[in-house]
Structure 1
Amino acid sequence: MSQPFDLQEAEETLAKVFAPWIVELGLKPVAFDAKGGSFVLPRNDRLVHIGGVICGQATASAADTAAVVTLAALNGRMRMCTTVDLTTHFIRPLKPGDVDIRVDVLSNGKRMAYTRVEMRASGDERVAVTAASAFAYLED
């Protein structure tokens, strides 16, 4: 395994690699370890739909983005990849507020990587959203 990114490198990757509307989510890396990474999706009332909860598109996008940044951190560099599969389960609504995100890397091979993401309302132990992802690396 390569030397993981530090948080500043992860923030720079978020700012440079992703589309502007993804950057506007405000996703913040918190920590990386040998198994994955932790992030916060900060409160953003622009992500709340008419039902008064954070919309699923925002959480799915945050899960996908956090997984890619976590892979980059564990690889020690951004390896261009594309999402092959993103299966998201919305278990309970997320009211407006900070969302804690944990990405676990299940497999990180030469051509493919697999992750599992769990999201919780900050301060709540209950999982609200899960996502399982598969990524194909487009470079070695």
Structure 2
Amino acid sequence: MQFGVKEAEETLARVFAPWIVQMGLKPISFDAGGGDFVLPENRTLVHIGGVICGQATASAADTCSVVALAALNGRFRICTTVDLTTHFVRPLKPGDVDIRVDVLSNGKRMAYTRVEMRAKGETKVAVTATSAFAYLED
């Protein structure tokens, strides 16, 4: 089965909790190694310090990883996050955030990803995350 941007949008709308859907994550493209996404500017994700909160970026990393895995698998497979390690390298000011998910390993029972986030148009990484997922179905 072909799993592209349209299927990713449908998966985001159908599978995830309403508050994740409200973040507005946008799948951009997929390739053999992972996928690209945008977290559009969303003032509800900005905390009192005037930057995008870490909880939002951690949630975006987790969610985009699951969708990138679905693209590589050709379908959404029910999975659970086993580990999510996030590093906040520099603050993200309000605005669009580019997200790249690289799938490091995608086995029968486990999958691993690495995520990098940058402010739109920037070259410096602001947030990184590594994740491990256990598949709960074949």
Given candidates 74, 77, 92, the residue that maps to 2:75 is 77
1:46-104 per-residue CA deviation (whole Å, 9 max, x = no partner) reads 00000000000000000000000000011000000000000000000000000000000
**Structure 1 unmatched runs, 5+:** none
Determine if contact 1:4/1:32 at 8 Å carries over to the other structure. no
Counterpart Cα distance in 2 of 1:51 and 1:130: 20
Q: Secondary structure at the match of 1:93?
A: coil
Show the counterpart of 2:18: 20
Distance 1:11 1:90 in 2: 27
Check if 1:42 corresponds to 2:40: yes
Alignment partner of 1:110 is 2:108: yes
Deviations 1:81-130 (A, max 9, x none): 00000000000000000000000000000000000000000000000000
Aligned match for 1:55, one of 53, 56, 81: 53
Query: Which residue is 2:27 aligned to?
Result: 29
User: Which position in structure 2 is the counterpart of 1:8?
Assistant: 6
> Paired residue for 2:125?
127
Q: How many residues are paired up?
A: 138
Distance in 2 between residues matched to 1:76 and 1:90, nearest whole Å: 31
Distance 1:35 1:4 in 2: 15
2-structure distance, mates of 1:99, 1:24: 15
Report the 3-state secondary structure (helix = DSSP H, G, I; strand = E; otherwise coil) of the residue aligned with 1:61.
helix
Q: Provide the rounded CA distance (Å) in 1 between the counterparts of 2:96 and 2:2.
A: 25
Q: Letter of the aligned partner of 2:86 in structure 1? A: T
Counterpart Cα distance in 1 of 2:100 and 2:89 = 16
Q: TM-score, normalised by structure 2?
A: 0.99
Computed over aligned residues only, the root mean square deviation of the Cα atoms, in angstroms, reads 0.6
Contact 1:63 1:117 in 2 (8 A): yes
Normalising by the residue count of structure 1, what TM-score does the alignment of the two structures yield? 0.97
Segments ≥4 residues shifted beyond 3 Å: none
